[in-house]
Chains A and B, each alone.
Chain A
Amino acid sequence: MAAPWPSLRLVAPIWNRSTRGIHHLGGAVDPESNQKKRRTMLQYLSDYFYDVESLRGYFLQNEMDKVHQKNRFRDKEWIRPDKYGHFSQEFWNFSEVPVEAVDASDCVINYEGLENLHLLKELQSLSLQRCPHMDDWCLSRLYPLADSLLELSLAGCPRISERGLACLHHLQNLRRLDISNLPSVSNPGLTQILVEEMLPNCKVVGVDLAEGLKLGPEEQPQDTDRPVPA
């Protein structure tokens, strides 16, 4: 299924720059006057000579191919198993491509398995939602991803407690941390505040700070005073 947050692109499309390049035939960015002159001459030539036109078309095609190569993950960014649980063989063609995001939700990954993530030096987003074997020991294994990890989601993992969350302080580049629905955390509100203090640049989501708080007697809503009921 699609990830809950917008998918990340591997590379932003460089369409405009390259088309300008086409018109200059690979030249650098020029001031406007040159652009107009060049354009008109080339345009003029290609209007009159079929070979120039086809040459231009050939170079355009080359540049387009390069752009498509760079944008080839635009529609299929996430490599997912098919309905039988098999990954397609195309996966092996992508061995040099750095992996940016891993969605391991509901997986039975454990302490030994997390060692495999250490090789992903450019991992930016990791989702470990509802993993039944993720516990505090496993969280202490995430520190090698500190340089690149921007997003981490631990929602719904039954074994993670506040002691494991404390060792996320190594992940200084983290910008978004999801710690909702952690049943083993003893005091979710206080934990959220302490984790926010620990990771000042990170947005920590998932805990409703008002949960567990009860209204005191003097804070009861004074609806009886209103002349017109809400």
Chain B
Amino acid sequence: MLPRVLSFGVRRGPLTRRPGTLRGGFSLDWEEKLSEIKKKIQSVLPGKPLHPLYDSSYLPPDHSDVVIVGGGVLGLSVAYWLKKLEKQRGALRVLVVERDLTYSQASSALSLGGIHQQFSLPENIHLSLFSASFLRNINEHLAVVDAPPLDLQFNPLGYLWLASEKDAAAMENNVKVQRQEGAKVCLMSPDQLRNKFPWINTEGVALASYGMEDEGWFDPWCLLQGLRRKVQSMGVLFCQGEVTRFVSSTDRMLTKNHKEVKLKRIYEVHVKMDNSLEYQPVECAIVINAAGAWSAQIAALAGIGKGPPDTLQGTKLPVEPRKRYVYVWHCPQGPGLESPLVADTSGTYFRREGLGSNYLGGRSPTEEEEPDPGNLEVDHDFFQDKVWPHLAQRVPAFETLKVQNAWAGYYDYNTFDQNGVVGPHPLVVNMFFATGFSGHGLQQAPGVGRAVAEMILEGRFQTINLDSFLFSRFYLGEKIQEDNII
């Protein structure tokens, strides 16, 4: 019926040749009209594929206001807060592009799931406190109609950091800062330690700091799935694909000193499908780099770091994947139900898992011992040589342990100062970072997500001031070192 109506108006127009249409005898305007009609219908029914000949529902949409590269806990947290804080319902179209929807290599899923506030930087403490209160009320934040409530399996037993003589003064300072910012941490002497936890061997320990509230460990997979479910219910689109190209436009501007600065703006993201050469160009306004261990590749695609060294153009994103091992062992005589997550002076850490005397733990290798991050194979000799001796020295009962299982995961390790990168890039104006947290990304994800959403929607950080986490510190050389990293 529609073609007949159109033909009425067009019949009197000049008959010209036009490149192949399905029906015969119409003017050139017909193609434009058809695409206009398609666009109109598409805007009324978003998300419906309009190709009548083939199914394109697996492809991402043609346009999206925000494209989040990386669907781990940080990317989902940014998506959640963007949709939560948008001014009007449906104002933002958000697309999350995740290369592997099974999360087989994702740091979020392989994480130990710990949360603690015992940091040396006030911003980190605030982020953890915010995240703790988010997790406490997770069923109010992430409630979805007709879906069962989330059970995070949170274990509120706290972290116990042990310090030797030379670190004791720094630990005392840190605890003072932590208490000032509102974390509930107490300091313990070796005698008090022995009283409370008789299974610890306090040789070499001068001071210990014990988190009393809002610290512990939880199930990261549950948080991930909860965020995913909520975010999908809020209207965020998911796509399985890999970002292979950013197409950007350049603005040449002059500084006060008449030096030329090239400001780039990404306007198209090419998302390539799995096992295929097919890609979909997605028009976008903002790109968020939450790709975790692979953030540096995404940044390089946008041209970050391509330039002479020691300039802003030449400053690369210093995030690289570092492999870390987690071992599971069984020890029937080990520490009891009350044992916290113990972080030893040597960098070894362990915690209890469940009621059955199973323990999880590991150790961060030193710079020389760093394993090759090419794959996620577990090195069992590392446990024998580097982890077990320290465990047995600190907890004598662990001399008779038996390893049951082990896995490896990546840290998105920030080689500059082991703290996260948050906020926009000074030159690629619409790329925002939410990555580089070097092992404490999971526990700070809700806070960081909110910060990035506020930066995008309001233009500045409102809840927690993360100005010191901006990208520009890599160029200016301002390190914000975090000491308490395991």
Contacts and interface: CB of A to CB of B under 8 A. Distances in A.
Interface residues of A, number: 24
A166 B338 contact: yes
Contacts of A194: 336-337, 355
Interface in B160-200: none
B265 to A, nearest CB: 44
Given A167-B156, A167-B338, A198-B336, A140 B213 contact: yes
Given A191-B355, A194-B355, A163 B338 contact: no
B63 to A, nearest CB: 42
A161 B152 CA distance: 12
Interface string A55-94: 0000000000000000000000000000000000000000
Contact of A163 (B155, B213, B214): B155
Contacts of B213: 140-141, 143
Interface string B328-365: 00000000111000000000000000010000000000
B282 to A, nearest CB: 41
Nearest to B196: A169
B158 to A, nearest CB: 8
B384 interface: no
A147 B288 CA distance: 50
Given A140-B213, A141-B213, A167-B338, A190 B156 contact: no
Given A137-B156, A140-B156, A162-B337, A186 B136 contact: no
Given A194-B337, A198-B338, A139 B156 contact: yes
Interface string A140-164: 1101000000000000000001111
A106 interface: no
B153 interface: yes
Contact of B337 (A111, A143, A186, A197): A197
B157 interface: yes
A37 B155 CA distance: 70
A163 B336 contact: no
Tell me what chain B mostly uses at the interface: helix, strand, loop, or mixed.
loop
A195 interface: yes
Contacts of A197: 336-337
B155 A136 contact: yes
A74 B264 CA distance: 80
B351 to A, nearest CB: 11
A87 to B, nearest CB: 30
Given A140-B213, A143-B212, A163 B136 contact: no
A194 B214 CA distance: 23
B461 interface: no
B159 to A, nearest CB: 13
A137 B157 contact: no
Contacts of B338: 166-167, 169, 198
Interface string A169-200: 11000000000000000110011001101100
Q: Which of A136, A161, A162, A190 has its CB near the most chain B CB atoms (within 10 A)?
A: A136
23 contacts: A136-B156, A137-B154, A137-B156, A139-B156, A140-B156, A140-B213, A143-B212, A162-B355, A163-B153, A163-B154, A163-B156, A165-B337, A166-B155, A167-B158, A167-B338, A169-B338, A186-B355, A187-B355, A191-B355, A194-B336, A194-B337, A197-B336, A198-B336
Given A143-B213, A167-B157, 4 more contacts: A163-B153, A166-B157, A186-B355, A198-B338
